[in-house]
Each structure stands twice: as structure tokens, then as C-alpha cells.
Amino acid sequence: MSPPRDLSFVSQSRQPEVLRCGRLAPSLKANTNLDRIESQPVSTASRANSSRAVLENACTVRVHDALFHKRGATMRDFLLRLTMTIASCLCVAVTRADELGLKQVTIDGQVTIYAPGSEIGHTMPQVRRHPDGAIYVNGCRSGLFKSTDNGKSWTRITWAFDPNGFGISRDGRLWLVDRRDKTESSVILIIQSADGGRTWQRQELDCGPLAAGGADDPYTAVTPHGAYTNFIERPDGTLMFSVSMRYKDWGDFNNRDQSRPGMRDVMVRTADGGKTWGDPTIVHQHATETDFAIDPSNADHLLAFTRIQRRMLPGEDRSETGCSFGWPYKNGLLLDSTDGGRTFRALPGGMTECYGHRGSILWTDNNVIVVTRNHGCKTIEERRARGHSGAAVEAQISLNGGRTWVDDGPGGTPHLNRAKPFTLVPFRKAHSFTCPTVELSKNRFLTVFVTGETTEKTTSIQSVVWHIETTPPPTKK
């Protein structure tokens, strides 16, 4: 077990100076406090209550002081004092409400999910919480693993599949996506179980005609196998997943013709409980292996963590790609959607270092976002020292719904790629597999990972349990 680390992420509140007649207090010059308000959001009920308490206790005094501190002031001075004093009060409220910060990350221990003592092959695990409270882990060809005691022990459910797509809908059904053939094909299998994995129903979906050109210019390869396909469900019951779709002339990520990229992630939907699938939209032109998280306060707002991989385009500068060696683009990328997943945009500062591309994202009900992924490389020397098969498992954390990410400073950073990476599992031999996370209880998590010498020589599926400790919110005086 790794010892706790004191990460000292505590926002520092400040008391704005009282506005005096005819001038702005130093803390209010150049819209400083207004910028502070913008960078410190209040997005949960608890924070709103904290803000309300601050206003009740502090704002009344300051507004009264601004109005009556000097009689005989001009109307302009009066309005200026009133406006800026209210702004200063809001600043106090927001700052104090955002004092809830990350104090430390503690590793509680590791639990073996599956270790047969022999190779289990290429494994891209997924973890999901069932509506009945059970936790399921997709172990690909090794089977499905179920825990009814919050990750303390696991039961194996065998199957005849090797899926890299997994999800659970609100009605409790389990969903898989798998390839139909071991050869390149546009046909995939969508498989569902309504009895916890005892029996399965299979259906085929030909994704070729989902291309913009339809059957006249179809996709010829759809690759759920060896990738990372995740389901997400809309409030109206629409179930959807994304998967990489490619044209025949994809040419190993050749993408000079942007209308026919080497790899694109396409969202597919069902509005009738899985009877029919279609309504395709593009998640990203050059992405695959996408995981999704829904804003707990706005179901139309989604974040996605994906893998971007492509070659250079004419006129591009390699120094801007984050990969100074190997692939010019082979990074993790944070995406944002405000229309329920129909369109996505790349967020500023959302691209990770090279080979930091396989990861997962979780958004909890208390507005904490956790991105867990394999540690990437910043230099060729680091890559050579680590080798192709090995990485540490890291977490990057936001406590306010992604507005800022925890770093070494008191205010956080708005950019994921500048966030502090917290090591959950030290360097271990394994290929760059996914490391998904599920919430066990408030601020306590379980992250799944695999170990093994190479892709095909994976030998075990493991989990690490960890929690974050936060500074307490301000108390009402």
C-alpha cells in the first residue's frame, strides 16, 4: 500500500477591502474580483447554501457601509460604491464556497479480480454499476466479473464472447459489442442479457451503410475488438455507443482527405430498446476508444475522454502535437458536448502527453470528475526506458465539474493537461490498457487495471481502491 500523500490543495479565501467614497479598493481594481467570480463556480446545492450563508452574514454589513459611509456623495459615486460592494460580497461568497479542496489522495489497497496463473490475452476492462448496486467488470475473453460487496470479492461469469464493448442500461440489462468475424468486417454483434448474464440475445448490425455515402460508399471496417466501446443512456431511454468506423482506403491512419479519415468514432443509437440501431453522428474525425460521463445537473452536457491518433496534415507543426517522437498524434483528448452527445468539441488544454491515450472518465453526483489513465511519455528517453509494455496508473481530478482541475497551486488549472497526476498504481508491466473507475461511496473509488508482459501475455485483472480527502466547507457563523 502506498502511503498517503499530502497534496495541499486548499483554496485561499481573501477579504475584500471595504469600498471608500471616490475610489476603488485595491482588491477591486481591474475587475480582479469579477475574474475571481468567473473562475470559482458555485455549481452544487451545498455550495449555494454556503454562498447564501456568507451573504446573510457579510454582505448586509458591507452594502450598508457603502451606502452610508459618507453622506453627500454624488449619485455616480453612490452607484459605483453600491455596484462594486455587491460584487465584492459575491466574491467573498464564491471564494468561501469554493474552499472545499483536495487535501490528499489515499490508497486503501488492492483486490485481485482474476488471476488464473496463465495468460488471458488482450484485455481492455470496463467497469459499471448495476441499478441493483452490484458492480460488473468486463474482462473480455476472460468473462464477466460481478461483485455484490462493493468490490471486496468477485464472482466470474463465463461466456463465449471476447467483447471490448460493455454497458448497463437503467432497466438492468447488460449490453455487449463484439466483432462478428475475426477478419475485417463492417458487421458487428450487439448482445444483451436481461438476467444478469445467464442468457444472451445476439443481433447483427451492418455499420457499412451508416457512412455519409450510404451503401454506395460504405464503411468497410468497424473495430470494437481490441478497442474500448462504451454505452451511454439519455433521459428518454435512448441508448447509444460509439465505435471506430473506417473506409477501405483508410491506409493506416492516412487522413489527407478529411472527408475520409483513417479513423473516426461514430455514435450509434437505439430509441426502441435495442430492436433497431442507427441515427449515426460523428464523435471525432480521428478518435476511438471513447468513454463518456454525464453532467449530474444537466443530462445534455457530456464530457468524453478519447484517443486521438493520426498522421500530420499539410502545414501542421509537429511541435504542437505533444508527441516529439513516434506517432505525431497518439494522445488522450478531452471532449465536450452540450447537445446530449450529438456533437462534440475538443476542450482547450484537453490533449495529454504522447501515449497517454487510453483512459476513462467518471462524473459523480457530487460534481467530482475523475480521469484515470495510463501515464504517457514526454520524451523518447522516457519511452525507451519504460518500453512499449508498461505504465503507471494515474488519476486527474476536478472538484467542480471540470471548471478547474487540481494542480499544485491554490486555484487549480482550467486545463486537464496541466492537472496534477496522482499515481494510483506504480509502474507495472502491462500494455497500454484502459483503467476504468467506479465510485464506491462519496469520494471513494475503485479503479480496474491489468498486468502482464505484453498485449497477449496479460496475466491478471486487478483493482485498486482509493479515496480523496477534502478540506471541509466553510461553516456558518
Pairing of strands 287-295, 298-310: antiparallel
Same domain, 66 and 17: yes
Q: Inform me whether the pLDDT recorded for 140 exceeds 50.
A: yes
Q: Report the Cα 47 to chain-centroid distance in Å.
A: 22
Q: How confident is the model at residue 3, as a pLDDT?
A: 37
Q: Inform me whether the pLDDT recorded for 24 exceeds 90.
A: no
Q: How confident is the model at residue 395 (pLDDT cuts 50, 70, 90)?
A: very high
Percent of the chain scoring above 90 in pLDDT: 46
pLDDT greater at residue 213 or residue 7: 213
CA 357 vs CA 333, 362, 401: distances in Å:
7, 16, 21
The residue written with cell numbers 461511496 in the block is 441
**Cα–Cα distance, 401 to 364 (Å, whole number):** 9
pLDDT greater at residue 368 or residue 96: 368
Q: How confident is the model at residue 471, as a pLDDT?
A: 80
Q: Which of 38, 68, 97 is the last residue of a domain?
A: 97
Over residues 309-337, the mean pLDDT reads 77
Q: Inform me whether the pLDDT recorded for 164 exceeds 90.
A: no
The string of DSSP letters for 25-61 reads -GGGGGGHHHHHHHHS---SHHHHHHHHHHIIIIIHH
Q: How confident is the model at residue 323, as a pLDDT?
A: 66
Q: Inform me whether the pLDDT recorded for 122 exceeds 60.
A: yes
CA atoms within 13 A on the CB side of 105: 22
Total Cβ atoms within 10 A of residue 237: 13
Is residue 476 included in any domain, yes or no?
Answer: no
Over residues 35-43, the mean pLDDT reads 30
Query: Which grid coordinates are listed for 321?
Result: 502535437
Considering its fold, how many domains does the chain have in total?
2
pLDDT greater at residue 472 or residue 113: 113
Residue 174, judged by CB atoms within 10 A of its CB (0-12, 13-18, 19+), counts as buried
Q: How confident is the model at residue 138 (pLDDT cuts 50, 70, 90)?
A: very high
Average pLDDT value over all residues in the chain:
77
Q: How confident is the model at residue 112, as a pLDDT?
A: 96
Q: Report the Cα 150 to chain-centroid distance in Å.
A: 22
Is residue 475 included in any domain, yes or no?
Answer: no
Sheet containing 345-354: order of strands:
287-295, 298-310, 329-337, 345-354
Q: Contact 333/351 with Cβ under 8 angstroms? A: yes
Is residue 221 included in any domain, yes or no?
Answer: yes
**Cα–Cα distance, 72 to 319 (Å, whole number):** 61
Same domain, 52 and 108: no
Q: Inform me whether the pLDDT recorded for 47 exceeds 80.
A: no
Q: Inform me whether the pLDDT recorded for 243 exceeds 90.
A: yes
Query: Which grid coordinates are listed for 262?
Result: 483513417
pLDDT greater at residue 180 or residue 232: 232
Over residues 280-295, the mean pLDDT reads 92
Same domain, 425 and 350: yes
Same domain, 191 and 137: yes
The string of DSSP letters for 266-315 reads EEEEESSTTS--EEEEEEETTEEEEEEEEETTEEEEEEEEEEEEE-PPTT
Q: Which of 73, 97, 121 is the last residue of a domain?
A: 97
**Cα–Cα distance, 12 to 335 (Å, whole number):** 30
Same domain, 409 and 268: yes
Same domain, 169 and 252: yes
The residue written with cell numbers 496479460 in the block is 458
Helix (H) or strand (E) holding 86: helix 75-97
Same domain, 24 and 89: yes
Over residues 348-373, the mean pLDDT reads 91
Same domain, 72 and 132: no
Helix (H) or strand (E) holding 353: strand 345-354
Same domain, 106 and 93: no
Segment among 66-75, 133-142, 171-180 with least mean pLDDT? 66-75
For residue range 415-453, what is the model confidence (pLDDT) as tens digits?
999 999 999 998 776 656 889 999 999 999 999 998 877
The string of DSSP letters for 372-436 reads EEE--BSSHHHHHHH-SS-EEEEEEEESSTTSSB--SSSS-BS-GGGSPPEEEEEEES--S----
Same domain, 67 and 109: no
Can you give the pTM of this predicted structure?
A: 0.76
**Cα–Cα distance, 37 to 84 (Å, whole number):** 13
Segment among 6-10, 86-90, 193-197, 416-420 with least mean pLDDT? 6-10
Read off the CATH number of the domain in which 137 is found.
2.120.10.10
Same domain, 362 and 284: yes
Q: How confident is the model at residue 57 (pLDDT cuts 50, 70, 90)?
A: very low
CA 126 vs CA 119, 176, 400, 417: distances in Å:
19, 11, 25, 23
Q: How confident is the model at residue 56 (pLDDT cuts 50, 70, 90)?
A: very low
**Cα–Cα distance, 345 to 266 (Å, whole number):** 14
- Note down the domain range covering 69: 5-97
Cα Rg of the chain, angstroms: 25
| First vs last C-alpha separation in the chain | 40
Helices (H) and strands (E) in the chain, counts: 5, 26
Segment among 37-46, 71-80, 383-392, 422-431 with least mean pLDDT? 37-46
Sheet containing 369-374: order of strands:
359-363, 369-374, 391-398, 422-428
Cβ-based neighbours of 160, under 8 Å, separated by 6 or more: none
312-345 burial, b for 16+ CB within 10 Å, e for fewer?
eeeeeeeeebbbebebbbbbbbbbbbeebbbebe
Query: Phi/psi zone of residue 349: left (φ > 0), alpha (ψ -120 to 50 degrees), beta?
Result: left
**Cα–Cα distance, 86 to 435 (Å, whole number):** 46
Q: Of 317, 336, 318, 331, nearest to 417 (Cα)?
A: 331
Is residue 463 included in any domain, yes or no?
Answer: yes
Q: How confident is the model at residue 352, as a pLDDT?
A: 86
Total Cβ atoms within 10 A of residue 350: 23
Q: How confident is the model at residue 451, as a pLDDT?
A: 85
Is residue 436 included in any domain, yes or no?
Answer: yes
Q: How confident is the model at residue 408, as a pLDDT?
A: 86
Q: How confident is the model at residue 187, as a pLDDT?
A: 94
Q: How confident is the model at residue 52, as a pLDDT?
A: 34
State the DSSP code for 196.
T
The residue written with cell numbers 468524453 in the block is 304
Q: Which of 66, 97, 128 is the last residue of a domain?
A: 97
Same domain, 263 and 343: yes
